[in-house]
Amino acid sequence: MAFNAAKMVDAMTRSQVEVPSGVGSGVMLDVFQGFVHELRAAGLPVSMTENLDAMRAVELVPLTDRDSLREVLAATLVKHFRHRAAFDTAFDVYFALYSGGVSPESDGEEGELGEGEEAGGVPGQQGSGGSGEGMGNEELAEMLLSALMNMDREQMRQLAAMAVSRFAGMEPGRPVGGTYYLYRTLRQLDYDALAGRMAQRAAEQAGDEGEPEDPLGSRFQREEFEARLREFRDLVEAEIRRRLVADRGVGAMARTLRKPLPEDVDFMHASREEMAQLQNAIEPLTRALAARLAQRRRRRNRGHLDFRATVRHSLSYGGVPAEPKFKHPRPSKPDIMVVADISGSVASFARFTLQFVYAMAGQFSKVRSWVFIDGIDEVTRHFSESDEITEAIHRVNTEADVVWVDGHSDYGHAFDVFHDRHLHEITSKTSIILLGDARNNYHASQAWVLKELRQKARRLFWLNPEPRGYWDTGDSIVSDYGIHCDGVYECRNLRQLERFVAAVVEA
Amino acid sequence: MAERFATVNEVVDRLREVDYLADTGIAGVVYLADRLEKPVLVEGPAGVGKTELAKAIAATTGSRLIRLQCYEGLDESKALYEWNYKKQLLRIQADREHETDWATVESDIFSESFLLTRPLLEAIRAQESVVLLIDEVDRVEIETEALLLEVLSDFQVSIPELGTIVGQQRPIVLLTSNNTRELSEALKRRCLYLHVDYPDLEREKDIVRVRVPEIDEALAEQVAQVVRSIRALDVKKAPSISETIDWARTLMYLGHSSVDPEVIRDTLHVLLKYQADIAKAKKELVSQANGGLVKSERARQ
């Protein structure tokens, strides 16, 4: 079915794009359509209209101008900044071979490429016979260092190619992603120590005249070096990718590199890097939540009749108060309580949870938060006193008193204590958000607490990081609690979290 | 109609003439917007020059800039057109003595002179070349977004009393968004998309030099470096480009020829607007500027 649909789109595209130059004809159109299909396979919502726009757009730029081509395709096909990384990956794979410059034929043989490029490109190096081959590893490292120091992009590109030839040890047909080769190459180049060596070199060059102790200057220098090293790393990665594509073909490569979009990354299994990206994504989300709650509040109840303004306005209708005017009510601040499980079974989710709470606390002044395992402790001040999320999380993990007996989740006891201590603080303006998997280790559920909380609070929500299929299996008693909540939401990725935010605002 | 730009590079050059430094991404999309006659949705953090881009395009193409500032509660009567009730009422009252028949009065009070044009209608009716800027489109409700969609897709408007008004020309349309909510798929589908981010060191330096011509290169470089440093910190509100420029100007007025920790400490409030951010930047940049290279590098990986 999907296959047929794809075919049809293809046919439609062909008939609708007038094909004047070489662009739309045969081969290139196939490449572009393959590219669009790949984007869809990676999860980007590319519509028919956008596809057509893209095909019209590529005719407006020369195909040899790779940067423009990339931007033009991105402008028409990618409508969310979070999707840009996926787009770039696919673009690099699909258009690696059209990047001009080096032809991919010689790729199978290790070393050949580096040699060919090096002979033509790197000026002033001892031009002895086999150039690339004849050079020792130290010389290569030395050249790299000087290229980095002088920010010679062309030479960096060539050195990246040489390094890949020499160190990556790429084997044709081996079904691994580029990361393995990347780390191999970088390790051989002693990448982690390069920044230090650059700083050392810079100090030597500054030599006599150099101002010895200038912390600010050295900070800038360090940042500059880091930026250059990142650039070099990208070059190496691009080179590896290019060779892999030549070896294994575009389609296979694209499939290997395909990653879930940021909004589909599972909180429970997110890598460190993905977690950092998530953190960036959460911030705007809480801002959205704040903005929309404020909007909703203002629109929902308009204030009392503003008599003065009404009379004043009636003058323009000849004294008839045709248009009553109202006062704008001052929006009340939302009052939010977040109660989160931070036990081992939801540890990575808890990290995300705390990030979310931290971001919320930045938006709303009246956010209070608690964490629990089998004991419960308020952590509001940990968040408000910490400047940084990592510091806040560290403080929560070390200072919060959350273990009561054995450090295994006991929702019942935690809720019970919460009820005793804080019930009187809950008002009809309070929204309560509970986070956890409701795996209670067969303790008493004490679900009546939630019933009472809900009666007093404005709204009570439960976010569960487990897939819905696992709910109520084993010691999970999410339904026992769920019947007392205004909503129980599966919340494993950003997409679901966004859905929750939208639902809260609608409710 | 005549195209405004011949190539992507021409976009870059002509924007540079009006002191706007565009990278390939920005220039490419502007070029496409002109050729494909499609609106552009521009997103990005506050203060990276989204609104400025519209002004620059207007300046370099000699077009009039029409701006529609969006806010929550914006509706048809504020965005598109409205009948001038007060004037109409006056007219009816003035006519009372003459006993004109209703048909005459009606055709009279629903004529052009009683119409209040709002930015969208203004852009459609314009005879000359126009750049339409719809600012902060994420602030309007979904319903108003639908209205925008209708106008942007056909560039015509039906006013029941006057008939359909069709655009004389296709303006360049820019919509900006600060991402406080997801815009509808339908709107995104109809627009080209441009995400503008903070510029890299080189471009920021160039921007400073263009906007503050009297600054010398070394100082501009230092300014850009400091700003890059601060943006790398985890601050509530990273310095925008306009704040960078303000800071560079401040340094010029105060007669500083180079940046040192003391100067940073005294002028940091130009770059950062939150007390917590200022404290953090001071701690990082002024008191302990060293250490942590390897650490941060590891953390990144």
Three-class SS of residue B152? helix
Question: Which residue in chain B has the smallest CA separation from A501?
Answer: B181
Letter for the amino acid at B21? L
pLDDT of residue B40: 93
Residue A449 lies in a domain: yes
A311 within domain boundaries: no
Q: Is pLDDT larger for residue B136 or for residue A346?
A: B136
Domain identity same for A162 and A188 = yes
On the 0-12 / 13-18 / 19+ scale of CB atoms within 10 A, A197 is middle
Q: What is the pLDDT of residue B131?
A: 92
Per DSSP, helices labelled H in B68-196 are 76-79, 85-95, 102-109, 119-125, 142-154, 185-190
Alpha helices in A102-177 (DSSP H): 112-121, 137-150, 153-163
Are A67 and A160 found together in one domain?
Answer: no
DSSP A309-338: HHHHHHGGGTT---S--BPPPPPPPPEEEE
In chain A, whose CA is at the least distance from the CA of B44? A81
CATH number of the domain residue A431 falls in: 3.40.50.410
Contact A74 B261 (CB under 8 A): no
Query: Within the 105-134 window of chain A, which residues sit less than 8 Å (CB to CB) from chain B?
Result: none
The length of chain A is 507
- What residue has token string 């314009």? B126
Chain B residues in contact with A76 by the CB 8 A cut-off are 32, 192-193
Is A499 in the B-facing interface, judged by CB distances under 8 Å? no
Using alpha carbons, select from A336, A338, A345, A337 the residue that is nearest to residue A438: A345
Q: Does B28 touch chain A (CB under 8 A)?
A: yes
Cβ-based neighbours of A312, under 8 Å, separated by 6 or more: none
Distance spanning both ends of chain B, measured CA to CA: 51
The mean predicted confidence, pLDDT, of chain B is 84
pLDDT tens sequence across B20-70: 988 888 999 999 999 888 999 999 888 888 889 999 999 999 999 999 999
User: Do A139 and A76 share a structural domain?
Assistant: no
Q: How far apart are CA A67 and CA B26, in angstroms?
A: 12
DSSP, collapsed to helix, strand or coil, labels residue A188 as helix
- Answer yes or no: do B229 and A219 touch at CB < 8 A: yes
Would you state the structure tokens that stand for residue A342, as one six-digit string?
A: 């931070």
Instruction: Report CB contact under 8 Å: B86, A317.
Output: yes
A262 in any annotated domain? no
State whether residue B143 sits within 8 Å of chain A by CB: no
- Same domain? For A226 and A152 the reply is yes
The residue with tokens 């950062």 is B272
Distance in Å, alpha carbon of A198 to nearest chain B alpha carbon: 12
Kindly state whether residue A52 falls inside one of the protein's structural domains: yes
Three-state secondary-structure class, residue A339 = strand
For chain A positions 39-68, those within 8 Å of chain B (CB to CB) are 45, 47, 49-50, 53, 56-57, 60-61, 65, 67-68
Residue A318 lies inside a defined structural domain of this protein: no
Least confident of A122-131, B74-83, B186-195, B277-286: A122-131
Nearest CA in chain B to A183: B301
Count, residues in chain B = 301
Minimal Cβ distance to B189: which of A49, A215, A389: A49
Does B229 reach chain A within 8 Å, measured CB to CB? yes
A220/B222 touch (CB, cutoff 8 Å), yes or no:
yes
For residue A252, give how far its alpha carbon lies from the nearest alpha carbon of chain B (Å).
26
Residues A110 and A88 occupy one common structural domain: no
Chain A residues with CB inside 8 Å of B25's CB? 71, 74
Query: Do the chains contact at A216 and B261, CB–CB below 8 Å?
Result: yes
Contacts of residue A273 in chain B, CB cutoff 8 Å? 301
Strands A430-435 and B172-177: unpaired
Strand A487-490 and strand A430-435: pairing? Answer: unpaired
Tokens representing B287 are 């008191």
Q: Which residue has the higher pLDDT, A71 or B105?
A: A71
Asked if A362's CB is within 8 angstroms of B28's CB, the reply is no
Residue A317 covered by a domain: no
Interface contact B194, partner A, CB < 8 A: yes
Q: One digit per residue, pLDDT tens: chain A, 507 residues?
A: 444 444 555 555 555 544 444 444 567 788 888 889 889 988 888 999 899 999 988 888 888 788 888 888 999 999 888 888 889 888 888 887 554 444 333 343 333 333 333 333 333 333 333 345 556 777 777 788 888 777 777 788 888 888 887 777 777 767 666 777 888 888 877 777 777 777 777 777 766 544 545 677 777 777 888 888 888 888 888 888 778 777 777 777 777 777 777 777 777 777 777 777 777 777 767 776 666 655 555 555 567 788 888 888 888 777 787 778 887 766 566 678 888 888 777 667 777 777 777 777 766 667 888 888 888 888 888 777 776 667 777 777 777 777 776 777 888 888 888 888 888 888 877 888 888 888 888 888 888 888 888 888 888 888 888 888 888 888 888 888 888 888 888 888 888 888 887 777 665
Say if residue A86 is in the same domain as residue A17. yes
Rounded distance, CA A344 to CA A347, Å?
Answer: 5
**Closest residue by Cα to residue A185 from A169, A198, A196:** A169
User: Is A267 inside any structural domain?
Assistant: no
Instruction: Order across the sheet with A487-490: list the strands.
Output: A376-378, A367-372, A335-341, A430-435, A459-464, A487-490
Prediction pTM value? 0.75
Residue pointed to by tokens 């299909």? A37
Is A80 inside a domain boundary?
yes
Q: How far is CA A159 from CA A99, A118, A146, A237, in A?
A: 18, 8, 11, 12
A98 touches chain B (CB under 8 A): no
Residue in B34, B36, B136, B265 to test binding to A, most A beta-carbons within 10 Å: B36
Number of Cβ pairs < 8 A linking chain A and chain B: 130
Clarify whether residues A52 and A146 are in a common domain.
no
Q: Is A5 on the interface with B (CB under 8 A)?
A: no
Question: CATH number of the domain at B8-73+122-195, please?
Answer: 3.40.50.300
Q: Considering only CA atoms, which of A468, A469, A477 is closest in space to residue A496?
A: A468
- E strands within A82-141? none
Outline where DSSP puts E strands in chain B: 40-43, 64-69, 81-83, 115-117, 130-135, 156-159, 163-166, 172-177, 192-195
Co-location of A492 and A369 in the same domain: yes
Residue partners of A291: CB distance under 8 A and separation at least 6: B180, B181
| Domain enclosing residue A199, as ranges | 105-123+131-249
Q: What is the DSSP string of A347-415?
A: HHHHHHHHHHHHHHHHH-TTEEEEEESSSEEE-HHHHHH-SSHHHHHHHHHHH----SSSSS--HHHHH
Sorted by where each begins, the domain ranges of chain B are 8-73+122-195, 81-117, 201-286
Residue A446, phi-psi category: left (phi > 0), alpha (psi -120 to 50), beta (remainder): left
Q: How far is A436 from chain B (nearest CA, A)?
A: 27
The residue of B221, B285, B293 whose CB has the most chain A CBs within 10 angstroms, and thus the best one to mutate to test that interface, is: B293
Judge if A280 and A406 occupy the same domain. yes
- Contact partners, residue B59, CB within 8 Å, separation at least 6: B18
Helix (H, G, I), strand (E, B) or coil at B64: strand
Alpha-carbon dihedral B251, B254, B255, B261, rounded to 10 degrees: -60
Rounded to an integer, what is the distance from CA A465 to the centroid of its chain? 18
Residue B78 DSSP SS3 = helix
The interface predicted TM-score of the complex, written ipTM, equals: 0.83
As a whole number of angstroms, the distance between CA A276 and CA A268 comes to: 14
* Residues A53 and A178 both lie in one domain: no
Report the domain count for chain A. Answer: 3
Contact A224 B41 (CB under 8 A): no
CB contact under 8 A, A65 and B8: yes
Q: What are the tokens at A222?
A: 């360090």
Two structure tokens written together for B48:
């990276």
Q: Please indicate whether, in this complex, the C-beta atoms of B93 and A318 are within 8 angstroms of each other.
A: yes
The DSSP secondary structure of A20-70, one letter per residue, reads -SSSSSHHHHHHHHHHHHHHHHTT----HHHHHHHHHHHTTS-TT-HHHHH
The Cα of B34 is separated from the nearest Cα of chain A by a number of Å equal to: 11
CB contact under 8 A, B297 and A226: yes
Tell me the mean pLDDT in the region B134-139: 89
Residues A154 and A242 placed together within one structural domain of the fold = yes
Per-window interface: B 97-116 vs A, CB < 8 A: none
Judge if A429 and A483 occupy the same domain: yes
| For testing contact with chain A, the best of B70, B193, B277 (most A CBs within 10 A) | B193
How far is the C-alpha of A32 from the C-alpha of A10, rounded, in Å? Answer: 10
d(CA B176, CA B174): 6
Put simply, the answer to whether B229 touches A299 (Cβ < 8 Å) is no
Instruction: Give the alpha-carbon dihedral of A135, A141, A147, A149, to 10 degrees.
Output: -150
